[in-house]
Structure 1
Amino acid sequence: MKTLYERADVVPLLAETFRELGFEGATLSRITERTGIGKGSLYHFFPGGKEEMAAAVLAEVDRWFEDFVYEPLRRDEPAAAIGAMWRNVDEYFRSGGRICLVGAFALDETRERFASTINGYFQRWIDALADALVRSGRAAGEARAAAEDAVVGIQGALVLSRALDDKSLFKRALDQMAKRLSVTA
């Protein structure tokens, strides 16, 4: 029986392929092999080829972070929003078992292709977290520095937990960062 896919079904499969192989390593042959989706179907969904596939994946990552991290940080009570950020980030990155695709794309030649998207992802995260910290009573400069430290810490913890093959390191790092960034309701 042949499986029928919608474009929305294909994007998560592509995301995992790009996470595993990187943009350059994800040749069309390897994408079809990893996803089980034929080249014709891929080009039907993504006529712009691999670059359009990567753009769709980055847009989906961005949409998730907008819905579950940035917007709550901007909108909700600061202590609750920041607490939810830590939980959602832990869940999204599978407690350190999943790399940050945006971060990975920022580290290689792919960065130039998607510079605006990559920059926006990190800037909006820092801005939203800094905004929540300001609303919690921190001075703007201190809030900005703390927000940058948190995003740097999350990215570093992802790399280190993966490098050491120790998911518990990611969770410990998140817990320590949450304590340092503690906001009372």
Structure 2
Amino acid sequence: MLISFILLGKYLEVLAKGKTSEAIAKLMDLAPGTAILLALDDQGNVISEEEIDSRLIQRNDLIKIIPGAKVASDGFVIWGQSHVNESMITGEARPVAKRKGDTVIGGTVNENGVLHIKATRVGSESALSQIVRLVESAQMAKAPVQKFADRISKYFVPLVIILSFSTWLAWFSSWKVPWISRILDTEIHG
């Protein structure tokens, strides 16, 4: 029974880790694959736009976010107005109004206006990456009680198995030996 409970606990732990891994994968999917990089002239006018892989964004890059697109990195708005759906990160039920000077979080969705943002936190510094890192560390960490239980079960389970086998062996030998000796006596004395 005890071993069954321990195995059931280990199985449930593996299931929970699998679900956490799925959650991490979904979090990683929040990050957009591409971004529109802007180049400005001395007067602040847009010279060119280039679509790049969002992993190539550097701090202080200027990024254009069109309606319906995901915000490519954490930063602040330098031009434009829009509403940004931050529910996947903050849990906010309604889109939040954004205008010049407001901060935006990577992985959120721009709802209706065009925004130009300046990237401030990219890669592992971004809020999304930090959330993923926290979830991963929580997945790997064990509670102190669980560590204690694992340490006890490491010795307790083999001890119980040895005692159980010894008890069965003692019972079997006390039951079988007289029975065998009676058979041998009848065969020998015939």
Q: Does TM, normalized by the shorter one, top 0.5?
A: no
Structure holding more helix per residue: 1
Higher RCO, 1 vs 2 (CA within 8 Å, ≥6 residues apart)? 1
Measured against the shorter chain, the TM-score band is under 0.3
Determine which structure has more spread, i.e. the larger CA radius of gyration. 2
Q: Larger % of strand: which?
A: 2
* TM-score, normalization by structure 1: 0.25
